[in-house]
Amino acid sequence: MMAPLFSSKLLIVLLFGTLFGLILGVLPGLGPTTGGALILPFTMTLDPLSAIVLLTSIYCAGTYGGAITAVLINTPGTPAAAATCLDGYPLAQKGEAGRALGMATVSSTVGGIFSVIVLVFFAPVLAKLAYEFGQPEYFALAIFGLTMLASIGEGSPVKNLIAGAFGILISTIGKDFMTSIDRFTYGINELSVGIGFIPVVVGLFAISEMLTQSTLLDQVFKRVALKAVKLPSLDDYKKTWKTILRSSGIGSFIGVLPAEGGTVASLIGYSEAKRFSKEPEEFGKGSIEGIVGAEAANNAATGGAMVPTLALGIPGSATTAVILTGLIIHGVRPGPDLFREQPDFLYGIFGAMLIANVLFFIFGFFGAKLFARITLVPNKILWPMIFAVSVCGTYSLSQSIIDVWIMLFFGVLGFFMRRFGFSVVPVIIGLILGELVEGTLRQSLVIFDGNWLMFLTRPIALTFFILSLIALAFPLIRSKKNKK
Amino acid sequence: MNNVQNKKRANKSLPFFFKDEFKVFFVIIFFSTILLISTFTFDKVPPILNRGIQPATFPKGLLVLIMFLTTIIYYLSFKNPWKKEKKLPKPFFLTILSFVLFVVISKTLDFFLAISVLSIFVSYNWGEKRVFYLLLVGIIFPLVVFIFFEMILGLRFPPGIITNLYYY
C-alpha cells in the first residue's frame, strides 16, 4: 500500500505539505481550503500523485493546526476548531496549555488515522455501488448532496440552499456544454469558457477573509504563554479513549456526508462527548473530554470526506472540492473506474494521509510552541502578502487578468454573504457539482423522453430523492423539537 | 443576551427599507430578475435538434428557485429579525478602494505595480508605518512571488511599464 510513497520526492512533498498545512491551520482566517486553492497552480509542476499527496497532507495537517490557536489564543485557526476553543482555552488559562495541546494532538491523530481506515475499506465499496448508477441516479445523488449541505451545514438551511443554487447558477455561465449556446456571457469572450473554480474559491475564502480582517483591526488576542509544558498523563488517556473513539466514528460518518465536514463533525463530537461524560458540568471550564471530543471528530472528517470525493466524484467538504479540482486538472477522473484502473494511485493517497497524520502528530507534539509564534505575524503584514500570492496564483492557471477581477468580485460578494449569514461553502460545492447536476438532469430527460415522472421509476434515484426530502425536513423537525 | 435583544429591537425600529433583511431581499430579487430576463435572450435550439430541455430552461429554474427561497427568508425575518450588524469601519472601505486602484493600475499601467501599490496601501492603512515593512510587503515580497511564478511555473505576466523592463 505504501510502496509508491517510498520515494524521496514524495516524502519531501508530504513533509512540505504537512508543515504548510500546519502553518495554514494555525493562522486564523486561512485554512486548508484557501491554502489548497492557493497552492493548486504550483501543483502543475508535479506529477498527479505528488500533487494530490500535497493537497491531502495540507488538508489533514491544516485541520489539526486550527487547534493550536484555539487553545493558545481562543481563536480557532479553522472553523473546524471552533468547538476546541470552548475547553482548550480555559484549560490553557489554568496553566495547562501543554496538556490541552497534547490531548488535541493525540485525539486528532487517532481521529485522522481512524478515518483513513474507514476510507480504505469504505471507498472501494461505495465505488462498486456506483457501477449501478446511471445519469438519473447521479442527478438524484447530487441533489441529495446539496440538500444535506443545506440541512446540516452551518447557519440557516434556506440561506444555504440559496447559496448552493447560486453556485450551480455560476456553473451555467459560458457555453452550454450540450449545445454550445452562450449563456450569461454578455458578449465577453473570456466568459465563454465559464468561470473557473480557483478565482471563485480564492475570492470567497481568501479575499473575503482579508475584508473581514479589515473590520477586526482593533481586536486584541490574549495569548496564553506555553512556558511550563505539562503533558497529558496516562490517566488522561484512560479517561478519554472512549470519547476519542466515539468522536472518530462520528467524524468519519459526518465526513462522508456532503457538508461542511469538520465543522459540523466537531460540534456533534463535542456535544456527544458532553452527553456521555460523567462530568458534564466541567464542559466549558477546561474539560479534556471536550477537547478530544471536538478534535478527534474534525480530523476524522478528513478521511470521511475523501470517500465520496474519490468514489463518486462528489466532494464531501470545501477542501475536498479543491482536491477534486486538483484531480481533474491532473487528468484523473474520480469514480468507480479510478478504483479499477489506478489502484496504486489511490493507495498512494491513502498512505499519504496516514503518514500526514503521523507527521502532524510529531510536529504538533514537539513544535506547537513554534507554530503558535506564527500568529505573531501582524495582519497588516500577512494579508497584503496573501493578496500578492492570491493574485498571482489566480492569474497563473489560465493567464487571464479577467480571472483576477472575478476573484476580487467574489471576494467582495463573499464578505457580504458572510456578513448576512450566508455560508460560502455551498457556493463552492454548488459550483463544482453544477455541471454534474445539469448534465445528468438533461441526459436523464433525454433517456426518459422528457417525462420527469420516470425518475420515480428508478429505485436508487427515488431513495436519494426521499433522503433529500428528509434532509430538507430535518431542520424543521429540529427547530420544533428545540422549541419544545 | 440583552445585547442581542437590544440589537434586534434597534433593527425593528428602522423603516423596512433600511433593514438588512429588506436590503438583502431586494438585491437578490433585483439581480435575479435581471438575470431571468436575460435568459429569454439566449439562443434556442431548433426543435429538430433539441434533445431534452432548452439551454435557458435550467438557469431559469434556478433563478426562480433562488427568488422563491429569498422570499421565504424575507418572510421568516418578520418572525425572527436579523441582528443588526456593526457599521463597517474605515479600513474596510480603504481596502475596497485599494481593490479599485488595483483594477485601474493593472489595466492601465502594470500588473506588478498594481500589486505593490495595493500591498503598501493596505498595509499602511491597516496601521503599518515602518518604511522597511512597507517595502517588504510592497516590493520585496511581490518581487519574490513574481520571480518564483516566472521561474518555477514559467508564467508570463501581462505586459506593463515595469514588467516590460524584466522581459525586454
CB contact under 8 A, A401 and B55: no
Per-residue pLDDT averaged across A24-31, rounded? 76
State which H helix or E strand residue A182 sits in: strand A182-183
Using CA coordinates, name the residue in chain A closest to B110.
Answer: A401
Residue A220 pLDDT: 65
Which residues, including other chains, have CB under 8 Å from residue A394's CB and lie 6 or more apart?
A198, A199, A202, A403, A404, A407
In angstroms, what separates the C-alpha of B13 from chain A's closest C-alpha? 19
- How far apart CA A200 and CA A193 sit, in angstroms, is 14
Residue A477, exposed/middle/buried by CB under 10 A (0-12, 13-18, 19+)?
Answer: exposed
Q: Three-state SS for A28?
A: strand
| Nearest residue, CB atoms, A442 vs list B53, B102, B145 | B53
> Crossing angle, helix A318-329 and helix A48-73, to 10 degrees?
160
In angstroms, what separates the C-alpha of A220 from chain B's closest C-alpha? 14
Instruction: Show residues of chain A in contact with B152, CB under 8 Å.
Output: 42, 45
Counting one residue from A and one from B, how many pairs have CB atoms under 8 Å apart? 158
Residue B82 pLDDT: 80
In angstroms, what separates the C-alpha of A482 from chain B's closest C-alpha? 15
Q: Which of A16, A214, A394 to mutate to test the interface with B (most CBs of B within 10 A)?
A: A214
Instruction: Show residues of chain A in contact with B72, CB under 8 Å.
Output: 158
CB contact under 8 A, A172 and B59: yes
- Reference A157, options A473, A483, A481; nearest CA is A473
Residue A471 pLDDT: 81
Which residues, including other chains, have CB under 8 Å from residue A37's CB and lie 6 or more apart?
A198, A201, A202, A205, A206, A322, A393
User: What burial letters (b/e) apply to B110-139, b meaning 16+ CB within 10 Å?
Assistant: bbbbbbbbbbbbbbbbbebeeeebbebbbe
Residue A227 pLDDT: 55
Residue A224 pLDDT: 60
CB contact under 8 A, A401 and B137: no
Residue B161 pLDDT: 86
Q: What is the dihedral of CA A476, A478, A480, A484, to 10 degrees?
A: 180
C-alpha cell at A282: 466541567
Residue B6 pLDDT: 47
Which residues, including other chains, have CB under 8 Å from residue B126's CB and lie 6 or more apart?
A214, A217, A379, A380, A383, B91
CA torsion sign for A388, A390, A392, A395 is negative
Answer for the pair A134, A268: CB distance below 8 angstroms, yes or no. Answer: no
- DSSP per-residue letters across A142-181: HHHHHHHHHHHSSS-HHHHHHHHHHHHHHHTSEE-TTT--
Residue A228 pLDDT: 47
Answer for the pair A63, A262: CB distance below 8 angstroms, yes or no. Answer: yes
- DSSP per-residue letters across B149-165: HHHHS---PPP-TTHHH
| Nearest residue, CB atoms, A183 vs list B59, B76, B106 | B59
**Angle formed at CA B45 by CA B39 and CA B48, multiple of 5 degrees:** 155
Instruction: Show residues of chain A in contact with B138, CB under 8 Å.
Output: 384
The CB-side HSE value for A449 (13 A sphere, CA atoms) comes to 0
- How far apart CA A163 and CA A225 sit, in angstroms, is 41
- How far apart CA A272 and CA A249 sit, in angstroms, is 11
Residue A57 pLDDT: 92
C-alpha cell at A143: 441533489
Q: Which of B62, B128, B146, B163 to mutate to test the interface with A (most CBs of A within 10 A)?
A: B62
Residue B37 pLDDT: 94
- Reference B95, options A421, A388, A208, A385; nearest CA is A208
% chain A with pLDDT above 90: 11
CB contact under 8 A, B122 and A161: no
- Number of neighbouring beta carbons within 10 Å of residue A227: 9
The CB-side HSE value for B9 (13 A sphere, CA atoms) comes to 6
CB contact under 8 A, B65 and A176: no
- How far apart CA B145 and CA A242 sit, in angstroms, is 47
% chain B with pLDDT above 70: 88
What is the number of residues in chain A? 484
User: Helices in A259-342 by DSSP H: which ranges?
Assistant: 261-276, 288-312, 318-329, 336-341
Break chain A into its structural domains and give their ranges.
3-221+232-483
CB contact under 8 A, B153 and A445: no
Per-residue pLDDT averaged across A196-202, rounded? 85
- How far apart CA A137 and CA B50 sit, in angstroms, is 23
Q: Mean pLDDT in chain B?
A: 84
Instruction: Show residues of chain B in contact with A387, CB under 8 Å.
Output: 115, 118-119, 122
CB contact under 8 A, B149 and A186: no
pLDDT tens digits, residue range A428-470? 888 888 888 888 888 888 888 878 888 888 888 898 899 888 8
| Nearest residue, CB atoms, B66 vs list A166, A379, A385 | A166
Helices H, strands E: what count in chain B?
Answer: 8, 0
- A332 phi/psi in degrees, rounded to 5: -100, 125
- Stretch among A106-120, A325-339, B93-107 having the lowest mean pLDDT: A325-339
pLDDT tens digits, residue range A342-393? 888 888 888 899 999 999 888 887 777 777 777 677 888 888 988 888 888 8
Examine the pLDDT at B2 and tell me if it is beyond 90.
Answer: no
pLDDT tens digits, residue range A266-324? 888 888 888 888 887 888 788 888 899 888 998 998 888 888 888 888 887 888 888 98
| Nearest residue, CB atoms, A217 vs list B39, B111, B126 | B126
Per-residue pLDDT averaged across A132-147, rounded? 84
CB contact under 8 A, B126 and A383: yes
- How far apart CA A465 and CA A453 sit, in angstroms, is 12
Beta pairing, strands A174-175 & A182-183: antiparallel
C-alpha cell at A53: 499527496
Answer for the pair A357, A82: CB distance below 8 angstroms, yes or no. Answer: no
pTM for this prediction: 0.83
Residue B3 pLDDT: 47
- How far apart CA A51 and CA A234 sit, in angstroms, is 39
% chain A with pLDDT above 70: 92
- How far apart CA A120 and CA A123 sit, in angstroms, is 6
- Reference B116, options B100, B89, B136, B93; nearest CA is B136
Per-residue pLDDT averaged across B23-46, rounded? 91
Answer for the pair A336, A311: CB distance below 8 angstroms, yes or no. Answer: yes
